[in-house]
Structure 1
Amino acid sequence: MRVHITDLRAGDRLSEDIFNSFGLHVLSKGAILNEKEISRMYQHQIDYIEIERRAGIMQASDGEAADADPAFASYNPLLRPLYHDAVAGAEQLFTRALEEGRIYEEDVKESFQPLVDNFRAERDVVSLLLMLNSQDDYTYQHSVQVGMLSYYIARWLGWSEEETIRAGKAGFLHDVGKCKIAETILNKPSRLTDEEYDEIKNHPEYGYEILKNSLEDPAIALAALQHHERMDGKGYPNGLTGDKIHPMAKIVAVADVYSAMISSRVYREKRDLLQVLRELYDLSFSELDPDITHTFIRHMIPNFIGKSVELSTGESGTIVMTHPNDFFRPLVKVGEQFIDLSAHRNKEIKQVFM
C-alpha cells in the first residue's frame, strides 16, 4: 500500500526498495521501519513509499492510507507563529525579570511549551533554523533557538522526555540575566570596552540569582550560571573544568555557541550552518564537551541532505550524500555532475539554503 511519509509508523515493513530523487539507495525492500529509518527518509526528502498492508487498515478512496499518525506529522505551519510567540514571550520574561527580580513558571510554560509540543514531530532541524532565523530581536530569538537546540541535543543523547523538556527550558532561560545589562551594551555595533565586556560577563550570575529565586529546579539555574564555563577552564564566571560543569550547562553551552555563530548580529553577519558545525567540531577538542558536541554534529549532518548550496567557486548545487568520515565535505550534485568535496579540496560549501 502506498502511503505518505507522514503516515508511517514504527513497525511498518517496506514492500519496495527506496531511492531518493538522485537515484541513491536509501532502504531495502523488507526493512522494518523504526524511528531511525523514518528519520532517514525525511532527511532524503522522500514523499511516498510502498509498505506492506497493515492489519485492519482501511483505504481512502484514492488508494492511500486513511489513518495518519500525528506523531510523524510533516512540517507544521504553526511552527512559525509559535516561534514568534515564543520570541515575544522571552521578551516579556526578560522585562518581568528586570522589574520584579524573578520569573514565573506559568509564564515560561505559556511562552515555550507550545513550541516544544510541536518540536516533537520535527526532525529536520536544519530546515527549522533556516526558516526561523532572522535578523530581528537577537537576544530573544537566541533564547528560543538555544531552548530548541538544547531540547534536541538532550533527546539525541537519550535523555528521558522529562529531562529533555528541562534541558529545553534551561536553554530558553539561559540568558535571562541579560535583562540587567543595558541595551546600549547588548546592541552596541562596535567593539566593547573592557568595562562593558566585564559587565556582559556578569549575566550568568544575574541569571542564576533570578532563576534560583523563581524555579524549584536548581539545574536550570546552574545552566544559566555555567553556560559560559569551558572544559579547559578558560570560561567564566568561575573557570570550572570538565566534570565540575553541570551536564545541563554543557548542553546549553553547545546550543548557545551554535546559535550565536549562525545568527545575524548588529556587528556581524550570520555565518553558514555547515561551516559553523565544523568550527564547533574544532571547539570540541578544547572548550566544549566532546560527547555532546559530536552527538549534536552527527544528528545535524544528515539534515543537510537535499539542501541547496552555493560553492566557493560560485556554482550552485544540492547536497546528495554526506561522508561518515568527512562530515563537512559532502557529495554535491551540480547540474548533471556529482562533485565529491572530500576529493576536490579546492572547493567548499559557502552557503546552505532551504
Structure 2
Amino acid sequence: MKVHVTDLKTGDRLLKDTFNGYGLHVLSKGTLLENKEISKLLQHQIDYVEVESVPIVNLPDRTLEQTVNPKWLPSVQPDYDNAIQGFHNLFAKASEDQTINEQEVEDAFQPLIKHLNMERDVVSMLLLLNTKDDYTYQHSVQVGMLAYYLATWLGYSVKKSVQIGKAGFLHDIGKSQIPETILNKPGKLTKEEFDEIKNHTTYGYDIIKKTFDERYIALSALEHHERNDGSGYPKGLNGDQIEPVSKLISVVDIYSAMISERVYQKKRDLFYVLKELYKLSFRELDPHITHTFIKHMIPNFIGKKAFLETGETGIIVMTHPTEFFRPLLQINHEFIDLTVERHLKIKEIFV
C-alpha cells in the first residue's frame, strides 16, 4: 500500500526501490524501516512509498551499541586505551623533566586517526568510551579526537587536521607541573590554588615549544582558556589576538569537560552541553567555529531518544540545519516538528 512518509511505522517494509526527485537511489526494495531509514526518506524529500506492514512484537529499545557500527568498538577500544596510556606516559615524563617526545606523541595519537575517519557518529563514540576514570588523561584524548574532527569540518587539510588533533591532545600537558593535591582536589579550590591551576597554560606552552616547530601547537596550550570577549586567561586576549587553532581547541575543551564525570561533577547530557556552547558563542567563544561544531554534531543525535519537558519521549528522526535544537521527532506514530511546536523542549537525550 502507498503510505505518506510521515505515516510510516517502525517495522514497515519497502515493496519497491525508492528514488528521490533527482533519480538518486535512496533505499532498496525489502528494506525494513526503522527510524534511521524513515529519517533518510524525509531528508530526501520523498512524499510517498509503497510498503507492507510487518508486525513486530515487543520491539526492543535501541541500545547504545546498536547506534554505531558493530565492528567499530572492538577495534577502536585498544587504540583509545593506548592513547590514554600514551598520554599518561607523556604526562609522567613532562612532570619529571618538562619535556615531551614527538615520536611518543605520534605513537599514542596517530593510531586513532584511522578510526576517526571511519566512524562519524561522534556522539555514540563519546558515550561508549567516556568513563569517570583517569579524567585528565581521557580528557586530553577526547579533546585531540574532537579537535581533529572539528578541524576537518572547518576545511583544514587532513595533514593540518592531524596536527591540530595533536594540539588538542597536548593542550593540558602543563598540568603535569601542578601538584596532584590541587589537580585532583574534590572540593572548591582556594584563590591561590586556582591561580596555580591557571599556570598550566604557560607551563604547557614552555614544554611544547621545545619539541614542536608548529607554533600554534604550543599556543593552543597557552591560549585555550582565552575568550573572545577578553574574559579568559592567562593574558586576557580577545578576538583576533587569539590564534585560530586556540579558539578551536577552546570549543572542544569545554565540550569534553562538561560531558565528563569527575569527582566534583556529574557528566551532563550531550545535547544540553551543545546548547550551553551555543550560548557561549555570542560572547566568549568564536561563533563560526562553535556553530560549525554544533552543526556537525547535531545529526549524530538522529535515531536517539529525546525526553521532553512534558514527560513524553520520542525518537529524533531529522535535524534542522539552522534551528539546531528543534529536530523532527516521532512520538508513537506521530511526527512532531519542534520548529513548529515551539512550546515543546527537549530535556535530555538518551539511547
Q: Shorter-chain TM-score category?
A: 0.7 to 0.9
Root-mean-square deviation (CA, aligned residues, Å) is 2.4
Displacement of 1:235 in angstroms is 0.6
Q: Tell me which amino acid in the other structure corresponds to 2:43.
A: V
Match of 1:21 in 2: 37
Select the residue among 169, 174, 195 that pairs with 2:171: 174
1:183 paired to 2:183: no
Does the Cα contact within 8 Å between 1:73 and 1:121 map onto a contact in 2? no
1:226 paired to 2:243: no
- 1:1-354 matches, cutoff 5 A: 14-16=24-26, 20-22=36-38, 24-27=41-44, 75=72, 77-354=74-351
Cα distance in 2 for residues equivalent to 1:353 and 1:17: 27
Cα distance in 2 for residues equivalent to 1:46 and 1:81: 20
Instruction: Name the SS for the 2:160 alignment partner.
Output: helix
Displacement of 1:27 in angstroms is 3.5
Cα distance in 2 for residues equivalent to 1:115 and 1:107: 14
TM-score normalised according to structure 1 size? 0.80
Displacement of 1:164 in angstroms is 0.3
1:164 to 1:26, Cα distance in 2 relative to 1, 3 A: same
TM-score normalised according to structure 2 size? 0.80
Cα distance in 1 for residues equivalent to 2:182 and 2:341: 44
Displacement of 1:124 in angstroms is 1.1
1:324 to 1:16, Cα distance in 2 relative to 1, 3 A: closer
Displacement of 1:216 in angstroms is 2.2
Cα distance in 2 for residues equivalent to 1:88 and 1:169: 15
Cα distance in 1 for residues equivalent to 2:178 and 2:339: 45
Displacement of 1:16 in angstroms is 5.0
Cα distance in 1 for residues equivalent to 2:310 and 2:99: 52
Does the Cα contact within 8 Å between 2:223 and 2:242 map onto a contact in 1? yes
Cα distance in 2 for residues equivalent to 1:350 and 1:79: 31
Does the Cα contact within 8 Å between 1:124 and 1:303 map onto a contact in 2? yes
Does the Cα contact within 8 Å between 2:87 and 2:108 map onto a contact in 1? yes
Match of 2:59 in 1: none
Deviations 1:29-52 (A, max 9, x none): 9xxxxxxxxxxxxxxx999xxxxx
Deviations 1:304-343 (A, max 9, x none): 1111233334433311112233211222223223333344
1:78 to 1:349, Cα distance in 2 relative to 1, 3 A: same
Cα distance in 1 for residues equivalent to 2:70 and 2:330: 29
Gaps spanning 5+ residues in structure 2: where?
1-22, 47-65
Percent same amino acid at aligned positions? 56
Displacement of 1:184 in angstroms is 1.8
Instruction: Name the SS for the 2:132 alignment partner.
Output: coil
Gaps spanning 5+ residues in structure 1: where?
1-12, 30-44, 48-71
Does the Cα contact within 8 Å between 2:43 and 2:318 map onto a contact in 1? no
Does the Cα contact within 8 Å between 1:318 and 1:333 map onto a contact in 2? yes
Deviations 1:38-92 (A, max 9, x none): xxxxxxx999xxxxxxxxxxxxxxxxxxxxxxxx997353112211211111111
Q: Tell me which amino acid in the other structure corresponds to 1:25.
A: L
Q: Tell me which amino acid in the other structure corresponds to 1:22.
A: I
Cα distance in 2 for residues equivalent to 1:73 and 1:248: 33
Instruction: Name the SS for the 1:352 alignment partner.
Output: strand
Does the Cα contact within 8 Å between 1:16 and 1:28 map onto a contact in 2? no
Cα distance in 1 for residues equivalent to 2:26 and 2:87: 47
Q: Tell me which amino acid in the other structure corresponds to 1:21.
A: E
Deviations 1:235-292 (A, max 9, x none): 1001111111111111101110111111112111111111111110111111111111
Instruction: Name the SS for the 1:323 alignment partner.
Output: coil
Q: Tell me which amino acid in the other structure corresponds to 1:201.
A: K
Match of 1:50 in 2: none
Does the Cα contact within 8 Å between 2:174 and 2:200 map onto a contact in 1? yes
Does the Cα contact within 8 Å between 1:14 and 1:28 map onto a contact in 2? no
